[in-house]
Structure 1
Amino acid sequence: MKTLKNLFLIATVISIFSCSTVDDNRTIDPGQGENPITGNELNGNITTDSKLLASVEYTITGSLTVKSGATLTIEPGTVIKARSGRTDVFLAVERGAKLIAKGTAAKPIRFTSDATSPKAGDWGGIVIAGKASSNKGTDVQSEVAGLLYGGTVNDDDSGELSYIIAEYTGAKINGEQEFNGISFFGVGSKTIVNNIVVSDGNDDGVEFFGGTVNVNNVYCANIGDDMFDWTEGYSGTITNAFGVRNDGFDTASNDPRGLEGDSNSADITALPISKPTLKNVTILNLNPDVALTGGAEIRRGTEATIDNILFAAYGTASFGNRIDTADGNGNGILTITNAFAQGNVGNDKIGGAITGTVTTITDGITVPSNNTITTKTGVGADLSAFAWANRTFVVTK
């Protein structure tokens, strides 16, 4: 059996005394030696190789951008708070720059809100741009942070993200633009991404805009919109993905989903077509008051292959549709194997082809009184991979 216990920590209120002045256009002075940034306050541009130290309690107070040619390294165990209540607080990595954020299971790197009572949407999120292909072009501007992305270097390297927690993300810019927890714009396959957690986000958890980056062990908890999202010709592999909505997390868009996959809504024939592969996935709703609109929305020209997925609604929680491949801007195509469903997860809405069937099971998932989740061995994600994140599940009804 596979179990996971998670604790949603309330951010400790820490007074940060800045060692620098506020100037959103300034260039950060990284210091000497190994180029440590020792000032508490982070904003502006990083133009030379620099390092954030676990011994310093940082606060991002504006846009923080790693410029092309520079590398930002973050030590294991570093906590980076974000000034809450502003839409211009985020970490961006330009095309041609690198972020080396290698935490460990014992010392993850945490991005969080500085609010006394943190909530979804307190700050932006992490935005990374690369040189891999997008079906929108080779010099596309990201919908947030204003980064150029795209190109022909599908094995581009934007660095590494390992054992990362990003929480309270998703600041809303306007009616059409919101930050995701982590956004990958044209990020290439040499970029290493594994063991990441996005929690309490106002928009999507993790979204891929084109690119070829592969992701292992990704966990999205309490996400206002879609847990996992791709578009613009994304063709990487996502392995061991777990998405859950807790009872009591009521932040929600009009159509929150587990998976939402697009290719190009303006031209579904635009190349490259989104063709991701997903392996070992669990989409779980524990909240009886907020239904997931769908488990997997595969639409607008995307093709997807999913092997070993569990759609589960615990107790009186529910989904609208289990799988939906129909859309007015173009249908999707889904190939599934080893697909399972438990609880009230709705029916499939077929527009494009669905190859494979979903098996209904009755012993797929339980939530014992100690707030661990136990799943049937071999079904969906391996939750034990996320034990390091130390989270607790909420079931009250």
Structure 2
Amino acid sequence: MKKLRFLPIFVIAATIFSCSSDDDAPTTPPTGGPTLDGIIATQDDDDLIVADLKGNVTGNITLAASEDWVLTGPLTVKSGSTLTIEAGTTIKAKAGVTDVYLAVEQGAKIEAEGTASAPIKFTSNASNPRPGDWGGIVIAGKTPTNKGATAESEVAGLNYGGTDATDNSGTLTYVIAEYTGAKINGDQEFNGISLYTVGTGTTINNIAVFNGADDGIEFFGGTVSVENILCVNIKDDMFDFTEGYNGTLTNLFGVRESDFNDGTEDPRGIEGDSNGSNNAATPVSKPTFEKVTVLNLSKITALKAGAEIRRGTEAVINNLFFGTLNGASFGNRIDTKDDKGNGTITITNAVYQGVVGVDNLGGTITGTFTEDTAAITVGADDVVTVKAGVGADFSKFAWTNYTVKK
């Protein structure tokens, strides 16, 4: 009779593991293998770890939607490299650490192409997530800034600035960023998305920032135009620009919900600067906004202004709506006066409803607001709707599944 032979269990295990794909990123740091060096050069690099995502990307790397990525430190895409993030990917950031962020250097690219049915999501890994749990997304390009030939970013230490207005930093579309805004110190704090001199060759649209501890999205110079931006419960400014930003921003919807009880000392819907040290420094910030809605539904915290346009800025806003409910308020609708230099703004089709302050005429404001007491309606389940054609088109954000409630 033949005797059955049983292989030791460690031999079986070794055989099974040896059959796994070399292309799969490890879920935990390797043991007994090569020493990790913090550089992700190839798709099968030992440093590309699903549960410990961080390091310098020096090759063309893809983050697959099938993996449960956890961002645990700085992930920096180096010049000449491309980080691709598949549609439907979720990246959870380690909470409570100030150096957890995604950065894209000058000369590098991010290709984060989500879809309406499969957006890309950056969020916190905390069981009880809060604003400021992690940094955010920082991208640097090569267009001019009025801070000089080149400059260094407030966070992530990226060089930015240059002469190429058509610079291409890749694609960011159908992307959600939540619980961003980690604070390093009193002068350094991440925004949800920070764009440093990003050029027109870059494609950015369909962006949502929820529960940010600083600004929702900020442009530091740059020429990139962006369409469809949703900012919800942002502690500081919803939409911010400075340092000579020249682009067109279309369909912006910002809201503070009724139970929102947090905020900085001077939050605004839009904050626009050019250069506080030299208002004539070029390029001067001259953005155009098309279709903007800013709602404050919280009677606990007021917005200092619907828009503050200052320090040499020249802005145009077409189709603007400021609205309030629940006894909420704005300090001013538009403020153009500042001790470091006034601003200039032209508004057309500007509408307001509720208590939204007055216009501060310290600088130059061309155009006036019209009151429409029926611009906001509250329907079933306290769903808030803004009249069609007034301000932003909220239907463009259906992909987020977000609903404004009274």
Task: Pick the TM interval, shorter chain.
Answer: over 0.9
Rounded to whole Å, the distance in 2 between the matches of 1:184 and 1:242 is 19
Residue correspondence of structure 1 range 1-397 to structure 2 within 5 A: 18-19=28-29, 26-32=38-44, 37=48, 39-395=50-406
Task: Please state how far the C-alpha of 1:248 moved relative to its aligned partner.
Answer: 1.8
Aligned residue for 1:13? none
Rounded to whole Å, the distance in 2 between the matches of 1:112 and 1:20 is 26
Structure 1 letter corresponding to 2:82: T
Contact 1:24–1:44 (Cα < 8 Å) also in 2: no
Task: Please state how far the C-alpha of 1:138 moved relative to its aligned partner.
Answer: 2.3
Rounded to whole Å, the distance in 2 between the matches of 1:392 and 1:170 is 23
Identical positions, percent: 58
Task: Please state how far the C-alpha of 1:185 moved relative to its aligned partner.
Answer: 0.2
- What stretches of structure 1 move > 4 A for 4+ residues in a row? 35-38
> 2:398 aligns to what SS in structure 1?
helix
Contact 2:260–2:300 (Cα < 8 Å) also in 1: no
Flag the 1:41–1:172 CA change in 2: closer, same or farther, 3 A: same
> 2:381 aligns to what SS in structure 1?
coil
Flag the 1:256–1:150 CA change in 2: closer, same or farther, 3 A: same
Flag the 1:252–1:309 CA change in 2: closer, same or farther, 3 A: same
Structure 1 spans left out of the alignment, 5+ residues: 1-15
Structure 2 spans left out of the alignment, 5+ residues: 1-25
> 1:348 aligns to what SS in structure 2?
strand
Flag the 1:271–1:120 CA change in 2: closer, same or farther, 3 A: same
Rounded to whole Å, the distance in 2 between the matches of 1:24 and 1:352 is 56
Contact 1:217–1:385 (Cα < 8 Å) also in 2: yes
Rounded to whole Å, the distance in 1 between the matches of 2:202 and 2:41 is 26
Aligned residue for 2:11? none
Flag the 1:343–1:392 CA change in 2: closer, same or farther, 3 A: same
Rounded to whole Å, the distance in 1 between the matches of 2:339 and 2:28 is 51
Rounded to whole Å, the distance in 2 between the matches of 1:110 and 1:201 is 14
Structure 1 letter corresponding to 2:99: D
Structure 1 letter corresponding to 2:176: I
Rounded to whole Å, the distance in 2 between the matches of 1:384 and 1:302 is 31
Flag the 1:26–1:36 CA change in 2: closer, same or farther, 3 A: closer
Rounded to whole Å, the distance in 1 between the matches of 2:360 and 2:174 is 36
How many residues are matched?
378
Task: Please state how far the C-alpha of 1:20 moved relative to its aligned partner.
Answer: 5.2
Q: What is the root-mean-square deviation in Å for CA atoms of aligned residues? A: 1.9
Rounded to whole Å, the distance in 1 between the matches of 2:307 and 2:237 is 10
Task: Please state how far the C-alpha of 1:371 moved relative to its aligned partner.
Answer: 4.3
Contact 1:37–1:51 (Cα < 8 Å) also in 2: no
Contact 1:24–1:62 (Cα < 8 Å) also in 2: no
Aligned residue for 2:10? none
Contact 2:27–2:49 (Cα < 8 Å) also in 1: no
Structure 2 letter corresponding to 1:385: K
Structure 2 letter corresponding to 1:66: V
> 1:251 aligns to what SS in structure 2?
coil
Rounded to whole Å, the distance in 2 between the matches of 1:59 and 1:38 is 9
Contact 2:258–2:326 (Cα < 8 Å) also in 1: no
Q: Report which of the two structures shows the higher radius of gyration computed on alpha carbons.
A: 2
Rounded to whole Å, the distance in 2 between the matches of 1:43 and 1:51 is 14
> 2:396 aligns to what SS in structure 1?
helix
Q: Which has the higher contact order (CA 8 A, sep 6+)?
A: 1
Cα deviation per residue 1:275-296 (whole Å; 9 max; x = unaligned)?
A: 0000000000111101111000
Cα deviation per residue 1:138-184 (whole Å; 9 max; x = unaligned)?
A: 22000000000000000000000000000000000001111000000
Rounded to whole Å, the distance in 1 between the matches of 2:156 and 2:399 is 31
